[in-house]
Each structure stands twice: as C-alpha cells, then as structure tokens.
C-alpha cells in the first residue's frame, strides 16, 4: 500500500478541515452569506500579506492575477522592468508582449538572487519605467530574492513595484507595506493550503494611481471594476465562492499559528531539508534557497526521472523536476503549507532508500540525522514554555 504524499512546490497538501468546507452545500454567490465569506477572507488575507491595502480576489491561477496587475498598470507602449531569474519571472516578459508593453529584461543567472544594485542601475537607465516586476520565491530554481531591499530602491522612483508572491507568501517572510510592495500577487494552491483556482492582488495607493491613469485594456481582469465590486464585498463575475469559503478555514488555521511562527516553521523545515540533502553529497542548486522548497542537482550517473519515479512508485511521494533549461538537471522537493518537521524527515528517509536502490552511495540515516541535528539545535534555542 502506498499513501499519497504530495511534496511538490504547488499544488501543496490541503488540510482535511479545509477540504471538508468544499463538501458543504453550494450557496448563491450573490447572497449576504457569500458576501460575509468575502469579508472574512479579505481580513485574513490582509493579515497574511501584512498589508492594510486593498486586496482583490480573482477566479484564476496566479498567472491570471499577475497578468491583471501588469496590464491594468502599464499602458501600451510603456516600459516594465522584469527581474528575470527563472521560468516564472520569464513568464512576465511574455505577458507584456501581446499587450504592447516594452519588457526590459534584467537577466540574472538562474539559481542566483537578483542584485538590488543592478535594479537601481536599471531604473536609472530607464527612468520612464512604469513598473518593476520581481519575484519573492522563484519556484523553478528554488531561489528567494531580496524583495525588501529592492522595494526600498523602487519606492524612491515613480515606478510601481509588483511582486510575484505566488509560491512565496505564507512560506517565507513578506511584509507588503513595510517593504514597499505596490502589487502583491498570490495563488491559492501553494502555502495558503487550498486547491488551485483562486488568486489575489493587494494594491497600494501608488498602484491605484497608476491603474487609474492607465487605459483599460481588458474585460474579465479589469481591476477598476473589481475595486468597485469589492467595495460591496462582491466580485464582477461569478467567483469560485466554494474555494473562498474553504479559504476562510485555511486562514483561520494560519491566524491560530501566527504569521511569524509560520515563517519560522518554514525556515526550519527548509534548513533541515537542505542539511539532509547536502549530507547525502547532493548539491543544492540555489545560492539563496527559498523556504518553501529544496532543489538539488541530479547526481552524475542518474536521471531525475529515476529518482522521482522511484519516490512515487515505492513511497507515493510526488516531486517535480526542472523546467525549460533545467529539465532533467534538478529535483524539486516542496515543503510548504500543510507540512511539518516529520514530513521533511520522512521525505529524506525515502530519498536515502531510493538513492541506495539506484546504486548511489548512501549511509543509512545520514540525511535524517543531519536534518534532525538542525531541528534539535533550533528547538534548543527556543525559550522554555
């Protein structure tokens, strides 16, 4: 018997009580009850995002919300600087093209963090840029970027700072208002512990000013219309209101744990998983690992598909490989949202056994021991009680 274990960087595991909310009878999406659900969801999202700004809900994947943020803010013919360090950052370059937005791609080697000094230089070279698009956690490489430092630089200019927080928010520290993030985009299926289907955008006053000055170039993703309806705790079009109801259950969990504790839990799991992977002699891919996943290079003599297929066939563990230029070169293990220390430990134990079966030299327990040493060490530093 295999027990399914989802260890991908999205979709991530969904708690049982959240899933049960999806089994409730469907209510009408324009009812007072449905509007109250939106009220509760927005309040919870603001706490997780660490913002007092408006938050809009879209029935779409994170890509849909990101597209909305870009095309509602940057007029046709104007510039957006994209901090391009992976597959998903590269996607925002592609979004700009059909809308006639000039995407200035500031390229960073995949696996390396974006250099804030280069962002400052790019803004000086392109003072007419309307937007800077950054990423909190680049899922394709497992890299976290210094959004806080970049936000301070962008805030000194007229440009609006949009951050792709789709896989990062809820797994790693993100302080929207304090860091000068004008547009924060988040997806439901990552650390927010929901199935796919919802996305969210927080919007600062600076961003609203840019949006109001931008000619509307869309219908479904019209953020001015979304703002008008959100003032009534409603949405312009039929929302996935069953998912929003489930979201409120997820947000209650997050509130009970506390956002600072959530960040600390993910950091601890990340450090433990990294320690376990490196103890096996595997090489981490990212120079600045994000907290929601661990990415390692495929060792010489093996294929990523061999490792991932063996994890699934023997233990029911689903992981993912690389994308685009990283296809076949890396394995990505997710540990975000509804996961704890034992999930990481069991995942590493399975990795040990699978690698041994594939002929890779493994000393049983070496990854688990390294991870436990991190976990025990951190626990010892915590105050009593």
* Neighbouring C-beta atoms of residue 126, cutoff 10 Å: 18
Specify the pTM: 0.96
Check whether residue 272 and residue 167 sit in a common domain: no
Check whether residue 176 and residue 265 sit in a common domain: no
Q: How far is CA 314 from CA 78, 141, 260, 280, 308, in A?
A: 52, 26, 36, 20, 10
Check whether residue 312 and residue 207 sit in a common domain: no
Domain count of the chain? 2
The CATH number assigned to the domain holding 273 equals: 3.90.1150.10
| pLDDT tens-digit series, residues 209-237 | 999 999 999 999 999 999 999 999 899 99
Check whether residue 193 and residue 232 sit in a common domain: yes
Written as six digits, the tokens of 140 are 């394709």
pLDDT of 367 strictly over 70: yes
pLDDT band, residue 378 (cuts 50/70/90)? confident
| pLDDT tens-digit series, residues 10-40 | 999 999 999 999 999 999 999 999 999 999 9
| pLDDT tens-digit series, residues 261-313 | 999 999 999 999 999 999 999 999 999 999 999 999 999 999 999 999 999 99
Check whether residue 190 and residue 292 sit in a common domain: no
Q: Which of 256, 289, 309 is the last residue of a domain?
A: 256
Check whether residue 333 and residue 359 sit in a common domain: yes
Check whether residue 366 and residue 240 sit in a common domain: no
Check whether residue 272 and residue 285 sit in a common domain: yes
Q: Which of 232, 256, 280 is the last residue of a domain?
A: 256
Instruction: Give the pLDDT score at 385.
Output: 44
| pLDDT tens-digit series, residues 314-362 | 999 999 999 999 999 999 999 999 999 999 999 999 999 999 999 999 9
Domain around 296: 5-9+259-381
Check whether residue 250 and residue 270 sit in a common domain: no
CA distance 252 to 177: 22
pLDDT of 382 strictly over 60: no
What residues contact 30, with CB distance under 8 A and at least 6 apart?
A: 234
Interstrand relation of 183-187 and 199-203 (parallel, antiparallel or unpaired): antiparallel
| pLDDT tens-digit series, residues 154-188 | 999 999 999 999 999 999 999 999 999 999 999 99
Check whether residue 138 and residue 241 sit in a common domain: yes
Check whether residue 215 and residue 269 sit in a common domain: no
């Amino acid at each position: 018997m295999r027990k399914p274990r989802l260890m991908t960087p999205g979709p991530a595991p969904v708690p049982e009580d959240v899933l049960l909310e999806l089994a409730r009878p469907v209510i009408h999406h324009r009812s007072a009850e449905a509007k109250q659900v939106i009220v509760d969801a927005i309040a919870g999202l603001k706490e997780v995002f660490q913002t007092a700004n408006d938050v809009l809900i879209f029935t779409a994947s994170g890509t849909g919300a990101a597209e909305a943020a870009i095309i509602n803010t940057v007029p046709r013919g104007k510039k957006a600087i994209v901090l391009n360090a992976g597959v998903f950052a590269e996607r925002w370059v592609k979004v700009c093209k059909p809308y006639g937005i000039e995407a200035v791609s500031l390229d960073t080697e995949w696996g390396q963090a974006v250099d804030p000094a280069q962002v400052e230089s790019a803004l000086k070279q392109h003072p007419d840029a309307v937007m800077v698009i950054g990423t909190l956690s680049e899922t394709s490489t497992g890299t976290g970027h210094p959004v806080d430092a970049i936000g301070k630089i962008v805030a000194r200019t007229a440009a609006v700072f949009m951050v792709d927080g789709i896989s990062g928010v809820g797994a790693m520290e993100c302080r929207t208002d304090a860091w000068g993030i004008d547009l924060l985009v988040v997806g439901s299926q990552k650390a927010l512990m929901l199935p796919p289907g919802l996305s969210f955008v927080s919007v600062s006053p600076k961003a609203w000013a840019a949006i109001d000055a931008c000619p509307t170039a869309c219908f479904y993703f019209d953020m001015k219309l979304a703002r008008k309806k959100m003032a009534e705790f409603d949405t312009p079009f039929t929302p996935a209101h069953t998912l929003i109801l489930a979201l409120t259950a997820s947000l209650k969990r997050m509130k009970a744990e506390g956002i600072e504790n959530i960040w600390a839990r993910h950091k601890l799991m990340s450090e433990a998983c990294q320690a376990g992977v490196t103890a096996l002699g595997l090489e981490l891919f990212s120079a600045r690992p994000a907290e929601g996943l661990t990415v390692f290079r495929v060792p010489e003599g093996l294929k990523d598909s061999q490792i991932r297929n063996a994890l699934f066939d023997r233990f029911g563990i689903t992981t993912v490989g690389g994308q685009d230029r990283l296809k076949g070169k890396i394995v990505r293990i997710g540990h975000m949202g509804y996961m704890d220390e034992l999930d990481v430990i069991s995942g590493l134990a399975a990795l040990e056994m699978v690698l041994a079966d594939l002929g890779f030299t493994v000393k049983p327990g070496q990854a688990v021991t390294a991870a436990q040493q991190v976990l025990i060490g951190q626990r010892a530093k915590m105050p009593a009680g």
